[in-house]
Chains A and B, each alone.
Chain A
Amino acid sequence: MDKDFQKLFNTLETLEPKKGAVSAVLFRIQHHKRRIARIKFTLLGLSSALSAAAIFPVISYTVSGFVSTGFYQYISLAFSDGGAILPYWKEFIMTLAESLPAFEISLLLAVIFALLESLKLTIKNMPVAFYKFN
């Protein structure tokens, strides 16, 4: 019984999809990719701008951190009276390490990283975001 019905279905006309059906889907995919790229470009561009704007206040904050922890004074001592410090170089290194403004440095590195990553991804999305269809 199955073979008969198989034969019956084989007699049905096999239709061809409309001409350009494949191209239409590919066009739709490209369109979708471009839309997503434009959204990413906008958001990442904004992120780049915000990171760039934040860089200078954060640098200023980091510098004041170096001053308030005494790091700047200790380093100045190394340059002004190096000979006196040399016998105690291990303790001096420890003091320098302890006086590093860790939070301020981390914040600065984070902002620099965010800026570079945002810029990189913004540029990466540009070709697709501004792709011109034929």
Chain B
Amino acid sequence: MERDDSQLIRDHLGGDERSFEVLMKRHIKAVYNFVYRLVPTNVDTDEIVSETFFKVWKNLKKFRAEENFTAWIFTIARNTAYDKLRKHRESVFSDFDTESGENFLSDTLADSEPLPPELFEKEENKKIIQELLERIPTAYREVLLLRYANEFTFDDIAKILGKPLDTVKSQHRRALILLRKMLASFGG
């Protein structure tokens, strides 16, 4: 029977070295994809992921069993990525942000029309979607990645980002509006 994260953590803290390896293999792909899409392409994703899991191992004793373990790992991954970006003096803000932190593309009413089906069908559109995602402000991008690529709840996202729940929901709404506009402007 496959052990859940809590059992693996207990086993590891009890002295079973292999349990941490199992934990890592279970979560490394999701973390890798999150970090890869969060940071600019010239930043070393492998190094950030390696540093993340090293920190997870070092701090495993501090993890509280009632918390969501996946959300905890993503918190560490996100903070590690931001530390790396700061070291490399990489901008964490988009060209679309104004000095006051507002984004002129996102401050409009939400459009509730469904997205055109061809977006999902054409193979070449996948690459374009990836590129559009890279152009979205990092603060919005991470909300979208956590919500849709990793299916976290807004509560978990708020904990991972260290932001109030209302802020996360607001950023989520703005991110969707911005992404929709970018998709529409690309489609012509």
Contact = CB atoms under 8 A, between A and B. Distances in A.
Interface of B: 20-21, 24-25, 28-29, 32-33, 36-37, 46, 49-50, 53-54, 57-58, 110, 112, 114-115, 119-120, 125-126, 129-130, 133, 144-145, 148-149, 176, 179
Contact of A6 (B25, B37, B148): B148
Interface string A38-82: 000000000000000000000000000000000000000000000
A104 to B, nearest CB: 41
Contacts of B50: 21, 24-25, 28
Please indicate which of the listed interface residues B25, B53, B110, B176 has the most CB atoms of chain A within 10 Å of its own CB.
B53
A25 B24 contact: yes
Secondary structure class of chain A's binding surface, majority of residues:
helix
9 contacts: A5-B115, A8-B148, A11-B119, A11-B125, A12-B37, A17-B46, A22-B28, A25-B57, A29-B20
9 pairs of A and B residues whose beta carbons are closest in the complex = A9-B148, A17-B32, A4-B115, A25-B53, A9-B149, A6-B148, A18-B46, A4-B114, A17-B28
A128 to B, nearest CB: 12
A7 interface: yes
A29 B56 CA distance: 11
A17 B46 CA distance: 7
Contacts, number: 76
B21 A21 contact: no
Interface of A: 1, 4-18, 21-22, 24-26, 28-29, 32
Given A5-B115, A15-B33, A28-B50, A21 B148 contact: no
Given A1-B112, A7-B120, A15-B32, A21 B130 contact: no
Contacts of A12: 37, 126, 129-130, 133, 149
Contacts of B36: 15
Contacts of A21: 28, 32, 46, 49-50
A8 B24 contact: no
Nearest to B151: A6
B83 to A, nearest CB: 17
Contacts of B21: 22, 26
Nearest to B33: A15
A13 B114 contact: no
Contact of A13 (B49, B54, B112, B130): B130
B131 to A, nearest CB: 11
A8 B46 contact: no
A1 B155 CA distance: 20
A9 B152 CA distance: 13
Contact of A8 (B54, B57, B58, B129): B129
A67 B145 CA distance: 79
